[in-house]
Amino acid sequence: MRAEIITIGDELLIGQVVDTNSAWMAQRLNENGIELFQITSVHDDRAHIIAALEEAFGRADIVLTTGGLGPTKDDITKQVLCEYFGTHLVEDTRVRAHIHDLYKERPEVLNRLTATQWLVPECAEILENRVGSAPLMVFHKGDKILASMPGVPYEMKIAMDEQILPYIENYELKITNYESGHILHRTLQVTGIPESSLAIILEDYENSKPGYLHLAYLPKDGIIRLRLSSYGEAAEAEMNEWFGRLKTLVADYLIAETDEPLEVIAGRRLQERGATVATAESCTGGKLAAMFNKHAGSSAFYWGSVVSYDNSVKEHLLGVPEEMIKTHGVVSEEVVRVMAESVRKLIGTDYAIATSGIAGPSGGTAEKPVGTVWIAWATPEGTTAECFHLGKLREQITDRACMKALIGLIRLLRE
């Protein structure tokens, strides 16, 4: 089956909100064997929404929409869907009871605008939105279906996992009498080689692999993700075989055999050896800590960080001698080594990573231009440090510094 996503909201088209929903939904659809053909973002505008619905139904079997379901005047999706499917709003007593239950401790929310949330299109099937007041609606158009969800990411995620995806699975079985094809993606991550040189290494591989296997290159922050995809045609055994060959060909540059974030891979390796890590962050400013802690369970191996944005923190908390900063500068091998060793002792972990660099836009010199970053790794066996030049833009520099820090840690944990 083929799906499309329509995200509805002026905020997307003036750049006030980044659409993170679509990528999340795309992953889930692929995991469920459903191909996502197109993502379209449209305004909160009647004619625009209707045109996008009509076009999407022309290409796909399943249309998923997010957004425009709030109780305020600017949200018009429910009304437009009524018009498109030639129906009208009726009161739904189940939704009404659910909303009363949802706000039983906040009765002030049960005002007359919230009351519009239990008016639903007569022809729609209503699924339960466990965590919000906007109804989840499913419409039928011949053999095709449309599911409308709220745009709030947390509500959308729960709606997809608990209601929409199971609904689609049942629906597919009913309509087609067989299950979805398998969409397979396998990704590995390499580093330390230009994309074009990698492609030359893989030229024979690309020419000899079966046509139903597709190879994609995704370079970002000093990592190239190599993804092998197949849409329904290849058996898992063939995918495994070709993925294995790919791995062998890029072995010298391989940093990860999955598409997981590097901090997850580093975390697993730490846990496997019962080891822990801490960080001392200057130029990365807490980003490395936040990357580790984003994932549940990180407290088992990630113990803490000293974010030493001001030099006084480096001196007083991390024991970097004032003299050392004067002589070598804060962005130096000497300083970053002391930072890593200090935080390792201070927090009492097996490993520690320290970063110090010039993230810009100001602060660069001829000798140490913006983008210069020193990183040190303190381990039970000693400390290593390396200098990098990571570009010109602040965000790029700090993102890449985090990746370099994690690549170094993963390599240490491999040895």
Of residues 50, 89, 199, 249, which one binds its own copies by CB under 8 A? 199
By CB under 8 A, is residue 22 in contact with its own copies?
Answer: yes
| Alpha-carbon distances of 74 from 69, 71, 79, 309, 399, rounded to whole Å | 9, 9, 11, 42, 36
Please name the residue that has the structure tokens 């004032």.
322
| Alpha-carbon distances of 189 from 122, 169, 247, rounded to whole Å | 50, 32, 10
By CB under 8 A, is residue 87 in contact with its own copies?
Answer: no
Of residues 135, 357, 360, 408, which one binds its own copies by CB under 8 A? 360
Shortest separation between residue 389's beta carbon and its own copies, angstroms = 10
Q: How far apart are CA 6 and CA 167, in angstroms?
A: 19
Q: Which DSSP string do the residues of 104-142 spell out, in sequence order? A: TT-GGG-STTGGGGGEEETTSEEE--TTSSSPEEEEEET
Binding residues for its own copies restricted to 95-114, rule: CB under 8 A: 106, 108-109, 111-114
Shortest separation between residue 112's beta carbon and its own copies, angstroms = 7
Q: How far apart are CA 313 and CA 172, in angstroms?
A: 59
Which range in 138-146, 152-160, 235-243, 262-270 contacts its own copies by CB under 8 A?
152-160
How many CB atoms lie under 10 A from the CB of residue 270? 23
Shortest separation between residue 286's beta carbon and its own copies, angstroms = 3
Q: Are strands 136-141 and 144-149 parallel, antiparallel or unpaired?
A: antiparallel
Closest CA to 236 of 186, 176, 302, 285: 186
- Say if residues 212 and 227 touch (Cβ distance below 8 Å): no
What would the two tokens of residue 95 be?
């939704």
Binding residues for its own copies restricted to 162-191, rule: CB under 8 A: 183, 185, 187
Which range in 208-216, 261-269, 320-328, 375-383 contacts its own copies by CB under 8 A?
208-216
Each residue 1-20 as x (binds its own copies by CB under 8 A) or -, in order, gives ---------xxxxxxxxxxx
Which range in 83-91, 267-275, 359-367, 372-380 contacts its own copies by CB under 8 A?
359-367
Please report, as a single letter, which amino acid is at residue 397. I
Of residues 100, 141, 154, 321, which one binds its own copies by CB under 8 A? 154
Binding residues for its own copies restricted to 45-84, rule: CB under 8 A: 48, 52, 55, 70-75
Of residues 24, 125, 249, 386, which one binds its own copies by CB under 8 A? 24
For its own copies, give the closer residue by CB, 140 or 316.
316
Half-sphere exposure of 402 toward its Cβ, with a 13 Å CA cutoff?
A: 19
Q: H-type helices in 1-92, by residue range?
A: 10-13, 21-31, 46-59, 77-84
Shortest separation between residue 328's beta carbon and its own copies, angstroms = 19
Closest CA to 205 of 245, 240, 152, 236: 245
Binding residues for its own copies restricted to 233-252, rule: CB under 8 A: none
| Prior bond of 361 cis (ω within 30°) | yes
Residue 45 burial (CB < 10 Å; 0-12/13-18/19+)?
A: middle
Binding residues for its own copies restricted to 292-321, rule: CB under 8 A: 292-294, 296, 298-299, 302-310, 312-313, 316-317
For its own copies, give the closer residue by CB, 154 or 235.
154
Of residues 87, 393, 411, 412, which one binds its own copies by CB under 8 A? 393
Shortest separation between residue 61's beta carbon and its own copies, angstroms = 16
Shortest separation between residue 180's beta carbon and its own copies, angstroms = 15
Shortest separation between residue 177's beta carbon and its own copies, angstroms = 26
Shortest separation between residue 12's beta carbon and its own copies, angstroms = 7
How many CB atoms lie under 10 A from the CB of residue 74? 10
Shortest separation between residue 285's beta carbon and its own copies, angstroms = 3
Shortest separation between residue 241's beta carbon and its own copies, angstroms = 20
- Could you tell me how many residues of this chain bind its own copies (CB under 8 A)? 114
Any residues with CB less than 8 A from the CB of 391 and at least 6 apart, and which?
371, 397, 400
By CB under 8 A, is residue 122 in contact with its own copies?
Answer: no
Of residues 32, 40, 66, 372, which one binds its own copies by CB under 8 A? 40
By CB under 8 A, is residue 394 in contact with its own copies?
Answer: yes
Of residues 261, 286, 319, 364, which one binds its own copies by CB under 8 A? 286
SS3 243: helix
What would the two tokens of residue 322 be?
């004032």
Mapping DSSP onto H, E and C, the string for 268-287 reads HHHHHCCCCEEEEECCCCCH
For its own copies, give the closer residue by CB, 123 or 313.
313
Of residues 321, 361, 365, 369, which one binds its own copies by CB under 8 A? 361
